[in-house]
Structure 1
């Protein structure tokens, strides 16, 4: 039987794909809110880089450096930790950043 959180994710969550491997993960995934509502960015030789951080709330634990794909964009995990009620893990909370492509 699914928990209430799993049911909410199944109905309203987004599909993300683990790389490599292609495993599908359902989670709430969105940019973290910024107090100033300005997108932190950085100018590089190839253009502007989006500096936003992204929030993941899901049932799968992620490791620092794991890569997820969402809507043809790649994201790397910066940190992940469980949130518990009593002794039971309810959800994993993670912060990701858009993966930067290696220069060729």
Structure 2
């Protein structure tokens, strides 16, 4: 028997909530590590910081293409899990641009 569309919508909404929670946990973890490393105190363009993170991710994945993507600013489809909002990955819980300012 097929599921009614209302049940499918409910399941999609539940999965979207789970995805959002998982992305929040990941962003908070990376943000805490970035702040411990002192990135909150450095004035750096968000694009440059994202490129550096992409290079790091490429090194840990063992891929050769990370430097090319970072240099060109282009990604493969599906590479940007945050939908273009990189502030969550940089310093969740704090404004990325204001994290090091007093």
Q: TM-score, normalised by structure 2?
A: 0.21
Bigger strand fraction: 1
Higher RCO (CA-CA < 8 Å; seq separation 6+): 2
Structure number having the greater helix percentage: 2
Q: Which structure would you say has the larger Rg? A: 2
TM-score by length of 1: 0.21
